[in-house]
C-alpha cells in the first residue's frame, strides 16, 4: 500500500469521536422508539447495532407490504435476511427496522407502525 494511503488510513482509524457520537445517537433512538413499539409488538433490545427486530403479528412479508401501503413505512421482512433451517427461518415473523434516520423521523415511523398495528391486521 502506498505510504500516503497508509497515512490516510491511520488517520481515519485513529478517530474515535464519531464512533462515540454515533453510539450515543443510536442509544437515544433505541430509547425513544422501543417503548412506542413495545406497546403493540415484542421488541427485543439489541446489544449493539442500529437495527430493531420486532416480532410481527402476521407473516413478515405481508406485514412489510401492508405497512408500506397503510403507513408509508418501509421495513424489511426478516426472512429475507436469514436462511431456512430444519427448525425454520429465524427471521420469520420479524421485520428489520433500521434506525438510521434522524431521531424525529424514527419516532414518527414508530408511531405510524404502532398505529397500524392497533388498527388490526
CATH number at residue 85: 3.90.1150.10
Q: Which of 70, 66, 73 is nearest to 105 (CA)?
A: 73
Q: Please list the ranges in the chain whose pLDDT falls under 50.
A: none
Q: What is the pLDDT of residues 8-40, one digit of tens each?
A: 888 888 888 888 999 999 999 999 999 999 999
pTM of the model: 0.86
Round to whole Å and give the CA distance between 10 and 71.
Answer: 45
pLDDT value of position 111? 99
Give the cell for residue 81: 435476511
Question: How many domains, the chain?
Answer: 1
Q: How many CB atoms lie within 10 A of CB 120?
A: 6
Q: Quick check: 40 and 114 in contact, CB under 8 A?
A: yes
The whole domain housing 77 covers: 3-119
Query: What is the per-residue pLDDT for 11?
Result: 85
pLDDT confidence of residue 59: 97
Amino acid at each position: 500500500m502506498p505510504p500516503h494511503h497508509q497515512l490516510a488510513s491511520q488517520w481515519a482509524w485513529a478517530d474515535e469521536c464519531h464512533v462515540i457520537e454515533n453510539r450515543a445517537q443510536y442509544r437515544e433512538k433505541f430509547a425513544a422508539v422501543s417503548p412506542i413499539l413495545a406497546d403493540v409488538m415484542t421488541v427485543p433490545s439489541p446489544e449493539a447495532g442500529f437495527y430493531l427486530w420486532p416480532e410481527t403479528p402476521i407473516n413478515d412479508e405481508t406485514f412489510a407490504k401492508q405497512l408500506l401501503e397503510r403507513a408509508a413505512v418501509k421495513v424489511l421482512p426478516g426472512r429475507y435476511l436469514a436462511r431456512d433451517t430444519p427448525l425454520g427461518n429465524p427471521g420469520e415473523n420479524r421485520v428489520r427496522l433500521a434506525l438510521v434516520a434522524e431521531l424525529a423521523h424514527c419516532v414518527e415511523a414508530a408511531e405510524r407502525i404502532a398505529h397500524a398495528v392497533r388498527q388490526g391486521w
